[in-house]
Amino acid sequence: MRLDGVRVLDLSRLLPGPYATQLLADAGADVVKVEDTDAGDYARILPPYTDAGVGAIFDAVNRGKRSVALDLKSDRGREAFLDLAAEADVVFEQFRPGVVERLGVDYEAVRAVNDDVIYCSLSGFGQDGPHADRVGHDLNYVGMAGLLDMTREGEDSKPQMPGYPVGDMAGGLFAAFSTVGALLSRELGNTGGEYVDVAMTDVVASFSQAVAHDALTGGDPRPGDTELSGALPWYDTYETADGNYVTLAALEPKFWDAFCEAVGREDLADAHMTDDPAEREAVREELEALFAERTRDEWEAQLGDTEAMVAPVRTPAEALDSEAADARDLIDHSGTVPRAAFPAQSTAEPEGVAGSPPGHGEHTDDVLEAAGYDADRLASLREDGVIE
């Protein structure tokens, strides 16, 4: 899992694209953020802030990258970008469709100087289609993909946001996967350079596999109506005595039998997978009463190490500050503040890819010098406001 020697020019900002390229950086790629000469990535000033005064989200998804501040709206800035792109393996952008064409740094422009480049465009709704020009944020992507319809309804009967930017993160994850796949295809000789178009809405729609068959064959799956959204009492979430929650996920008969035995309710065993709505409701009522007898931690102590398929619902703070997180090295403490680390472990871990996020334009001179720009040329570009 080492991308040593892979150079990525990253034009993205905020969360989805930087998360994608952070995954590449975590795997060892040299990621160069190309930011404008004004404020740079908006996430730098997006609260909450670290003790260093940097946006916490920016810190989390820009570790170990380098920053070049470049005015792409100027002819000389565009020329400098294409000089860098000529030696890059990947160009990654997250603008709305059409922006890179207007700037003159689109796939065709880059391919003219680097035929082997992998060029990835990540957007809300894709580069074509009826919604391509729409603005959007995570709520738009999740809603358009139909997943808001599959979330539990709140007390006001309004579909609720899942509570996490699933569209942004899913889009970034799939963009990183697609980029690595294109790199591998190129290295295997299957393809040369390649253009990859990733729409966050499409990625979130792909998350609907559990209900897609029903939806595509005449059904209209709704919250609580499907096996994996609460229709089955043995696959649901239950409130405990202290107002917390546990999950029960005993789909397979062996796990349901183990659960019934562990809680002394062998009388419920034969009701597993019943199609009788009344019997299902009776089982649910029994389970609601059962789980309400003890606290979340008491249920964890009793059932956590059994095959009862019961687990506590934790807050993000509890999940990230836990024995399991420590054991799996889930938290990266190498930078100025802790962050969630790369979510896989390998026998070929990259070395030295963490660290602090870059300052705005911190590496402009270093990166351009490596591309052949001498001191006089850099001074001229800076004087004209092309670089920062």
Residues labelled as active-site residues = 137, 168
Say how many C-beta atoms besides its own lie within 10 A of residue 1's C-beta. 14
Q: Is 338 left (phi over 0), alpha (psi -120 to 50) or beta?
A: beta
Bridge-based pairing of strands 66-69 and 310-312 is unpaired
**Dist. CA 156–CA 60, nearest whole Å:** 34
Spatial CA neighbour of 158 closest among 143, 178, 136: 143
> What single DSSP character describes residue 167?
H
Confirm if 59 and 50 have CB atoms less than 8 A apart: yes
Spatial CA neighbour of 89 closest among 174, 163, 31: 31
Three-state secondary-structure class, residue 366: helix
Q: Where are the alpha helices (DSSP H) in 45-199?
A: 56-60, 75-85, 99-103, 107-113, 138-144, 166-187
> What single DSSP character describes residue 96?
P
Sign of the C-alpha dihedral, residues 294, 295, 296, 298?
negative
**Dist. CA 172–CA 17, nearest whole Å:** 6
> What single DSSP character describes residue 374?
-
